[in-house]
Structure 1
Amino acid sequence: MTVLDEETPAARSLTLPALRPTFLRRGPAGSRRAWLVAAAVLVVAAVVLAVLVHRGQALDTARAEAASSARTRIPALLSYRHDDLGHDLAHAVDQTTGSFRSDYEALVAKTVRPTAERRKVDTTATVSGLGVVRASASRVVVLAFLTQSTARAGGAPVVSGSRVEVTMVRVGDRWLIGDLKPV
Structure 2
Amino acid sequence: MSHDPFALFADWYAEARASEPNDSNAMALATADAEGHPSVRMVLLKGHGPNGFVFYTNRESQKAAELAENAHAALLFHWKSLRRQIRIQGPVSLVSDAESDAYFASRSRDSQLGAWASDQSRPLDERATFEKRFEEVKARFEGGDVPRPPHWGGYRVTPTRIEFWLDREHRLHERRVFTRTDSGWDMGMLYP
Question: Could you tell me the TM-score, scaled by structure 2's length?
Answer: 0.24
- Larger fraction in strand: 2
Greater RCO structure (CA 8 Å; 6+ sep): 2
TM-score normalised by L of structure 1: 0.25
Structure with higher Rg: it is 1
Considering fraction of residues, name the structure with more helix: 1
